[in-house]
Amino acid sequence: MATPNGPRVPCPQAAVARPLLFGLVLIQVAGVAGTTDVGVAYNITWKSTNFKTILEWEPKPINYVYTVQISPRLGNWKNKCFYTADTECDVTDETVKDVRETYLARVLSYPAGTGTSAVEPPFTNSPEFTPYQDTNLGQPTIRSFEQVGTKLNVTVQDARTLVRANSTFLSLRDVFGKDLNYTLYYWKASSTGKKKATTNTNEFLIDVDKGENYCFHVQAVILSRRTNQKSPESPIECTSHEKELFFIVGAVMLVIIIFIVVLSVSLHKCRKARAGRSGKENAPLNAA
């Protein structure tokens, strides 16, 4: 049977569905556009010295914020520095829990003011970081030194760290043990030729020439590392025999001054005592 030719009557369901479908497409496009406006972190680096560890990255965000997540290699992600506009995050409290563990971090980007989202935000992974191998050694400190005759004694102060055991902060020596070495570079103050000595303790006792002044500095070394072995050098210290002589002369002078004062006081008391006895002998006898 032939279909009659006549005007097509529009379907009311189709008329409603078209704008609805168009609206959904617009929403999806807007969502995609919003996601592309969120910047992604890059140049993620670990900055760590004596186990204090900061995660840094770029760029400075505009109209979005960051959240950092950190995890041991086989652990779960933990959020740090929630919705921050900063480009660094202190993660020390996580990385000192086990300094021999390897950690991974990632920086997530969120549109500003959106809060949490059911959709996973864009993120960037950091390189791996193992504190025991990767933290930088800080500049060491010379605690004390003394040159007596032909012996020079130098003692190095161990830096404190943020690693804890039984609620006590540990020193570098506590963490690294005999793996931590110190190298002493020393030379006569009148020359430039350097010698060196190494110890896996904190004390040096080396032979020197009697009567010569010496200058020196120390450097911390982790010999088990393939890279990042050495710390910066400590400030230079120097012995001074002139200074020792000054103190000796000063001490002698002080003893002499004390002796003179004591002697003067004693003589003064003696003179007063003699004068008193003389006065009694010359006084007239009382009449009976």
> Dihedral angle at the C-alpha atoms of 57, 70, 34, 61, nearest 10 degrees?
-30
Model confidence at 208: pLDDT above 80:
yes
- At 120 the pLDDT is 86
Q: What is the reported pTM?
A: 0.70
Same domain? 145 vs 234: yes
Contact between 49 and 136 under an 8 Å Cβ cutoff? The reply is yes
Domain encompassing residue 57: 35-132
- At 14 the pLDDT is 45
Model confidence at 111: pLDDT above 70:
yes
Structure tokens at 213: 């002044």
Same domain? 101 vs 189: no
Same domain? 126 vs 162: no
121-149 per-position pLDDT tens digit: 999 999 999 999 999 999 999 999 999 99
Residue 262 belongs to some domain of the structure? no
Give 174's pLDDT tier (boundaries 50, 70, 90): very high
Among 80, 98, 132, residue at a domain's last position: 132
Same domain? 127 vs 156: no
Averaged over 86-100, what is the pLDDT? 97
Domain of residue 213, CATH code: 2.60.40.10
- At 267 the pLDDT is 77
Distance CA 129, CA 66 (A): 20
Contact between 210 and 244 under an 8 Å Cβ cutoff? The reply is no
Averaged over 104-133, what is the pLDDT? 89
Structure tokens at 116: 């949490």
Sheet holding 52-58, edge to edge: 42-49, 52-58, 88-90
Same domain? 128 vs 211: no
Model confidence at 61: pLDDT above 50:
yes
Averaged over 160-181, what is the pLDDT? 95
Mean pLDDT of the chain: 83
- At 123 the pLDDT is 97
Give 284's pLDDT tier (boundaries 50, 70, 90): low
